[in-house]
Structure 1
Amino acid sequence: MSTLSLRRRPLLALAAALALSSPGLALAQARLKVAAVYTVPFEQQWAGRIHEALKASESRGEIEYKATENVSNADYERVVREYIAAGNQLIVGEAFGVEAALRKVAKDFPKVSFLMGSSGKPVAPNFSVFDNYIQEPAYLTGMIAGGMTKTNKIGMVGGFPIPEVNRLMHAFMAGAKETNPKAEFTVTFINSWFDPPKAKEAAFAMIDKGADIMYAERFGVSDAARERKVLAIGNVANTQPDYPDTVIASALWRMYPSIDRAVKLVKDGKFTAEDYGPYSMMKHKGSELSPLGTFEKKVPADLMAKVKAKEAAILAGKYTVKVDDTQPKSSK
């Protein structure tokens, strides 16, 4: 045995001892480098849910997380490529407005894993897609809205009429019709993912025409509802703490199951192209109906009994909320 080999033995033993005695050091060495790129601010509902799940993974010491918000479509590809050049192994973000460009980047870097918001298909070997499949709790919030409206007029303000928005609106409308066949809907899209003033103005117009419950798919709608003293239903995030007298309940989206799965698969070297959409469904704890909170005693008990029965049926696989990705229309 060479003198060099003999010298290496105590060094290797020392390194192993340090790893055992300093679990934080070993954990830091094992952390996966993850980057997320958003075209909207962190506070926006969609980006906020992704960011929240990634921050949770970071706080557990599982990943080293970097993120950039408010990136324009024109700069999106450049920012992603810079993160890849910096050694990030998993890229998470929105592909919608830059779908073709991001799929090209993924093809250029087959050893980097991508998890992107998309209604399109995953592409082997490394481009996975996710979606906010929260139509189930959206249906439940619709049931509540249908039972709570006094004018039978419900206003709905969305961002863009894309599948991710359309399916939630349709589910909400179907739920409202179940508890109130007389419910009518006014639907509009502001053609922006984050323009609270524009969403607010659209909501005002609906309230002025008699809507007494607003479906707040976008930020700004609940502000209008609060000012005009009507009710609102939240979407994706629980906004009741900010609107305790306005937001009855929300369909909550949780990205934790999807993020946790992607991080584990990349770490294990088993990440493949797949559709993560189903992991946003209630049975995977990727979505849920928010607690009633301040509206606990304001929503009729018989109405909530119907909602809870439907929720149980969904979780038991006895009822399936229809997925309708077509653009929703106002009632005639």
Structure 2
Amino acid sequence: MTQTKRFGLSRRGLLITGGAALLGTGFGGLPGRARAQGALKVAGIYTVPVEQQWVSRIHKAAEAAKAAGTVDYSFTENVSNTDYPRVMREYAEGGAKLIVGEIFGVEQEAREVAADYPDVAFLMGSSFPPDDAVPNLAVFDNYIQDASYLTGIIAGAMSKGNIGMVGGFPIPEVNRLMNAFMAGAREANPEVTFQVSFIGSWFDPPKAKETAFAMIEAGADMLYAERFGVSDAAKEKGVLAIGNVIDTQGDYPDTVVASALWHFEPTLAKAIEAVQAGAFKAADYGVYSFMKAGGCTLAPLGTFEGKVPEAAMKRVAEREAAIRDGSFTVTIDDNEPKSS
């Protein structure tokens, strides 16, 4: 497949399979040394509001680095795919040394922009591997399948056997988390069945809520809330839910049992370190989202502490320890999950 054809695929426009490569490529770093005098100038470019789950974790990590005095961080949200290259150029021209964002819908165009600014480091969310033709663009994704698997064990133990799952798009980033969750649920209850649906949007809480309502009507007593709006439906109908990427139990104390949390801090820290050392290169930073790298955790059970069956929590503790010491590996399955 040619480079043009590969990167012409729109992650948010087409349904693709296959995950990003997990090994960095050994291409050259940025020319010279990029060690900052003081805080490193970092820019974030996001296609959705920073409140959206996935982007919020990147934004949170960058704000924490800013508060620590490590970076000088600015950002632009709600950038359309058609406008994304222009905003990239503006930040590059404005002196940003590290630009972070998500180029799922503009793979080819974004890489072309990065190639025009070889002295700027680009760390971009992508479904594709790093490319030796653009040595200053590294990729990442939220590989939090470890934590998702653990929440599945809890869900399987808490459900009577019918779990509804509402996702945005059936693309690798979403599929791998859903499949890991389903594997955990089946481990706790081999007879569990799933209702799986995708709403075709990254941010449409009303549509996600209506989809969840339909699943509850069809018998679901547990919901997997990959999108905003699902937990609202669960709360209104008195069923349980599992969160994704962020911890929302504070908003749904009687509804959200557990959540798989994504921590972008390890990913961003590695990128900042590489830029400051003049060693940033085309690599895949997805591995820093793994549990053993500190990139994901199981959120505290909070109000559900003591309410999850003891056997399930014992299994969670054993599996988590095995994941962390490398004796157990959660399968990364990027195939589209199906209802059963």
Letter in 1 for 2:236: E
Note the 1:249-328 alignment, pairs <5 A.
249-328=258-337
Q: Does 1:144 align with 2:154?
A: yes
User: What SS does the corresponding residue of 2:106 show, helix, strand or coil?
Assistant: helix
Looking at both structures, which has the greater relative contact order when contacts are Cα pairs under 8 Å and sequence separation is at least 6?
2
**In terms of mean alpha carbon deviation, does 128-137 or 301-310 score higher?**
301-310
User: What SS does the corresponding residue of 1:64 show, helix, strand or coil?
Assistant: strand
Give 1:87's aligned residue: 95
Q: Distance in 2 between matches of 1:272 and 1:79?
A: 22
Give 1:20's aligned residue: none
Give 2:64's aligned residue: 56
Give 1:220's aligned residue: 229
Structure with more helix by fraction:
1
Please point out which of 71, 80, 92 is paired with 2:79. 71
Q: CA deviation at 1:297?
A: 1.9
Task: Report Cα offsets for 1:24-52 as digits up to 9, x if no partner.
Answer: xxxx9421111010000011011000000
Q: Distance in 1 between matches of 2:131 and 2:270?
A: 18
Q: Distance in 1 between matches of 2:165 and 2:40?
A: 41
User: What SS does the corresponding residue of 1:97 show, helix, strand or coil?
Assistant: coil
Give unpaired runs (5+ residues) of structure 1: 1-27
Note the 1:172-187 alignment, pairs <5 A.
172-187=181-196
User: What SS does the corresponding residue of 1:47 show, helix, strand or coil?
Assistant: helix
Give 1:202's aligned residue: 211
User: What SS does the corresponding residue of 1:36 show, helix, strand or coil?
Assistant: strand
Give 2:167's aligned residue: 158
Q: Distance in 1 between matches of 2:39 and 2:301?
A: 38
Letter in 2 for 1:97: G
Give unpaired runs (5+ residues) of structure 2: 1-35
Identity of paired residues, percent? 64
Give 2:123's aligned residue: 115
Structure ID, larger Rg: 1
Letter in 2 for 1:43: E
Letter in 1 for 2:251: D
Q: Normalising by the residue count of structure 1, what TM-score does the alignment of the two structures yield?
A: 0.90
Give 1:3's aligned residue: none
Please point out which of 92, 116, 129 is paired with 2:139. 129
Q: CA deviation at 1:175?
A: 0.4
Letter in 1 for 2:117: F
Count the aligned residue pairs: 304
Q: CA deviation at 1:123?
A: 2.2
Letter in 1 for 2:104: F
Q: Distance in 1 between matches of 2:326 and 2:270?
A: 23
Q: Distance in 2 between matches of 1:119 and 1:168?
A: 14
Q: CA deviation at 1:112?
A: 0.8
Over the aligned positions, Cα root-mean-square deviation in angstroms equals: 1.2
Letter in 2 for 1:148: M
Q: CA deviation at 1:84?
A: 0.8
Q: Distance in 2 between matches of 1:316 and 1:266?
A: 30
Q: Distance in 1 between matches of 2:324 and 2:91?
A: 39
Letter in 2 for 1:186: Q
Task: Report Cα offsets for 1:214-263 as digits up to 9, x if no partner.
Answer: 00000000000000000000000011111110000001000000001101
Shift >6 Å, 4+ stretches: none
Q: Normalising by the residue count of structure 2, what TM-score does the alignment of the two structures yield?
A: 0.88
Q: Distance in 2 between matches of 1:308 and 1:293?
A: 16
Please point out which of 103, 110, 113 is paired with 1:102. 110
Q: Distance in 1 between matches of 2:117 and 2:79?
A: 21
